[in-house]
């Protein structure tokens, strides 16, 4: 049930006031009366009136104009209509300019009052309906905004889960680098935050927003995702030869010992000498000693560290050795691919395998650019793409120069190299101490590889300490 609209009659004439109140009540309105502006204002403070009829001139106390100003301050939604005589018409017009809705001249007929009231109430209802609509519209906007914010949070949680799942996928392919992506992310974001605190220098004017820091974190977490496109045997290759290839070579060397010992004994017997078990054992021992020397040479050549020249020179000795193939023909103990692998001057990867490893950056970029990033994350693929570029143009995959490399990528490069040095989980190297790692980073800045200002902030702000508790586990 709709409550009737409230109307207040303000007039010092009791009979006139009472007559109007009764008439309005008969019309279905909630009418009330007040004998003065003061009494009317007391009622206005207690309840809302849609419409207030007030005499302009009331003996003693405040006038209708005074009441108009007071009502506007207390309840600006109330409509005020002035009742005035002919002598005060000019004052009533001035009241209209001050915010009164209308005025009617005394004496008037009830129909005149009703007509003015109907106009006022129609306007009042329209305003209230518009207010209700506006309020509902604001509520709808708020509700929709909350839905959008909730959806945004859900999308962010979904994307965070996607990123973490991607990191898990990377680490499942290359368990030896488990934790590398998250450590690089912590170091890179920490370095960016240190840049934000830096005054002066090449990075003094650079400030990363929260959104840019988020973008940098995601780029760091996903910078190695392209490793999923690299063969597993290349990713986890700790030595120059795979274990089964090394075992095959060592087994061939052992077989060669037996073959040589047998040939010697057959020669002795062919010359008519009697069987001598002790002599056979001595011959076999001599061959086994030689075999162990050759095996040791193979094992030394198989290590991923820098190949010493004297060791590399002895490779010629291995390349000419053969054994008796089960088919009855001689075969080389070292096959061409074995020789190529053992002659790798540094590390465990051949040039082709190194190129395959390096291709992970391109794989990462191709994957990341397929994602419809939001505006705040649009630079993420390019940041990850350039983390192996070097200032002197000798990085990969594009050979960018310093001016072409994003600042974020320069920061990530420092973090990436540092973590690769200190990490204890690489199969092809031992962990380098933190002091020595920082020295190597400094050397690389001097060589024009890493950004010197990024390294300075990394060192002076002690960003490297962010992951100290995680690099030995």
Distances in Å between the Cα of 120 and the Cα atoms of 48, 249, 390, 430 are: 15, 105, 77, 89
Q: How far apart are CA 418 and CA 443, in angstroms?
A: 12
Q: How far apart are CA 307 and CA 409, in angstroms?
A: 33
Report which DSSP code applies to 5.
P
Residue 365 lies in a domain: yes
Q: How far apart are CA 89 and CA 78, in angstroms?
A: 22
Query: What pLDDT score does 390 carry?
Result: 96
Q: In sequence order, what are the beta bridge partners of 103?
A: 82
104 and 78 in a common domain: yes
Q: Report the Cα–Cα distance between both ends of the chain, in Å, rounded.
A: 74
Report which DSSP code applies to 79.
E
111 and 213 in a common domain: no
Query: What pLDDT score does 473 carry?
Result: 44
Token output for 430:
């031992």
Q: How far apart are CA 228 and CA 222, in angstroms?
A: 11
Tokens 């395998």 belong to which residue?
A: 353
398 and 257 in a common domain: no
378 and 344 in a common domain: no
Residue 116 lies in a domain: yes
DSSP string, 128-191: HHHHHHHHHHHHHHHHHHHHHHHHHHHHHHHHHHHHHHHHHHHHHH-GGGTTHHHHHHHHHHHH
- Cα Rg of the chain (Å, integer): 46
Distances in Å between the Cα of 308 and the Cα atoms of 63, 304, 429 are: 110, 11, 17
Token output for 356:
């395959």
416 and 390 in a common domain: yes
359 and 339 in a common domain: no
Q: In sequence order, what are the beta bridge partners of 9?
A: 33, 53
Torsion angle, CA of 300/302/303/307, rounded to 10 degrees?
70
Burial (CB count within 10 angstroms: exposed 0-12, middle 13-18, buried 19+), residue 221: buried
Tokens 């009494």 belong to which residue?
A: 39
CB 220, CB 188: distance < 8 Å: yes
Residue 448 lies in a domain: yes
Contacts of 435 (CB under 8 A, 6+ apart): none
Count structural domains, the chain: 3
Distances in Å between the Cα of 462 and the Cα atoms of 217, 275, 413, 419 are: 19, 75, 16, 14
Tokens 């073959």 belong to which residue?
A: 259
Residue 173 CA, distance from chain mean position:
23
113 and 190 in a common domain: no
75 and 25 in a common domain: yes
Phi/psi for 322 (5° steps) reads -140, 175
250 and 212 in a common domain: no
Taking the CA atoms of 257, 328, 271 and 269 in sequence, report the sign of the dihedral they define: positive
107 and 48 in a common domain: yes
Q: In sequence order, what are the beta bridge partners of 129?
A: none
Q: How far apart are CA 429 and CA 421, in angstroms?
A: 9
Specify the 3-state DSSP secondary structure of 23.
helix
Distances in Å between the Cα of 31 and the Cα atoms of 52, 113, 116, 327 are: 10, 14, 16, 120
Query: What CATH number does residue 21 fall under?
Result: 3.40.50.2300
Domain span including residue 379: 174-231+355-470
Nearest to 186 by CA among 207, 200, 167, 158: 167
Residue 461 lies in a domain: yes
CB 370, CB 226: distance < 8 Å: no
Token output for 343:
């002659």
Residue 160 lies in a domain: no
76 and 112 in a common domain: yes
Nearest to 228 by CA among 363, 419, 355: 363
Q: In sequence order, what are the beta bridge partners of 147?
A: none
Per-residue pLDDT of the chain (473 residues), as tens digits, is 557 889 999 998 999 999 999 999 999 999 999 999 999 999 999 999 999 999 888 877 788 888 888 999 999 999 999 888 765 667 767 777 788 888 888 888 888 888 888 888 888 888 888 888 898 999 999 999 899 889 888 888 888 888 888 888 877 777 666 788 999 999 999 999 999 999 988 999 999 999 999 999 999 999 998 888 888 888 778 888 888 888 998 888 888 877 777 777 777 677 665 656 676 677 777 777 877 888 888 888 888 877 777 777 777 888 888 888 877 788 888 888 988 888 888 888 888 888 988 899 999 999 999 998 889 899 999 999 999 999 999 999 999 999 999 999 999 999 999 998 988 655 556 678 899 999 999 999 999 999 999 999 999 999 999 998 866 54
pTM value surpassing 0.75? no
Query: What pLDDT score does 439 carry?
Result: 95
Contacts of 165 (CB under 8 A, 6+ apart): none
């Amino acid at each position: 049930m709709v409550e009737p609209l409230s109307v207040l009659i303000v007039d010092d004439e009791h009979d006139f006031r009472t007559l109007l109140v009764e008439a309005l009540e008969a019309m279905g309105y909630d009418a009330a009366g007040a004998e003065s502006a003061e009494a009317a204002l007391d009622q206005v403070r207690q309840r809302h009136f849609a419409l207030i009829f007030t005499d302009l001139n009331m003996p003693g106390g405040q006038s209708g104009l005074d009441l108009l100003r007071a009502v506007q301050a207390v309840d600006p939604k109330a409509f005020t209509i002035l009742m005035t005589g002919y002598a005060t018409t000019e004052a009533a017009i001035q009241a209209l300019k001050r915010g009164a809705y209308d005025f009617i001249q005394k004496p008037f007929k009830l129909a005149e009052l009703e007509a003015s009231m109907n106009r006022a109430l129609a306007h009042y209802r329209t305003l209230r309906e518009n207010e209700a609509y506006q309020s509902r519209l604001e509520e709808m906007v708020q509700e929709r905004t909350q839905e959008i914010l909730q959806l945004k949070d859900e999308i962010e949680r979904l994307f965070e889960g996607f990123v973490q799942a991607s990191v898990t996928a990377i680490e499942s392919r290359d368990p030896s680098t488990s934790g590398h992506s998250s450590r690089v992310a912590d170091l890179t974001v920490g370095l960016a935050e240190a840049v934000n605190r830096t005054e002066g220098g090449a990075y003094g004017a650079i400030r990363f927003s929260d959104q840019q820091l988020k973008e940098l974190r995601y780029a760091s977490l996903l910078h190695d995702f392209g490793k999923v496109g690299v063969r597993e045997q290349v990713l986890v290759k700790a030595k120059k030869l795979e274990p089964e290839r090394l075992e095959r070579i060592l087994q061939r060397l052992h077989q060669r010992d037996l073959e040589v010992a047998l040939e010697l004994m057959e020669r002795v017997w062919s010359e008519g000498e009697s069987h001598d078990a002790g002599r056979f054992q001595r011959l076999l021992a001599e061959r086994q000693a030689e075999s162990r020397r050759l095996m040791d040479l193979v094992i030394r050549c198989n290590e991923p560290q820098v190949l010493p020249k004297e060791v590399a020179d002895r490779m010629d000795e291995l390349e000419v050795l053969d054994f008796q193939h089960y088919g009855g023909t001689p075969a080389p103990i070292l096959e061409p691919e074995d020789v190529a692998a053992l002659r790798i001057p540094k590390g465990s990867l051949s040039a082709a395998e190194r190129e395959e490893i390096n291709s992970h950056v391109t794989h990462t970029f191709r994957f990341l650019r397929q994602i419809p990033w939001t505006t705040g994350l649009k630079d993420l693929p390019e940041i990850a793409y350039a983390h192996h570029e070097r200032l002197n143009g000798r990085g990969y995959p594009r050979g960018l120069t310093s001016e072409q490399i994003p600042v974020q990528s320069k920061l990530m490069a420092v973090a990436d190299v540092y973590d690769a040095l200190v990490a204890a989980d690489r199969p092809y190297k031992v962990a380098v101490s933190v002091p020595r790692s920082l020295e190597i980073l400094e050397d690389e800045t001097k060589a024009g590889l890493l950004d010197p200002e990024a390294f300075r902030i990394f060192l002076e702000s002690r960003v490297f300490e962010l992951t100290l508790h995680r690099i030995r586990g």
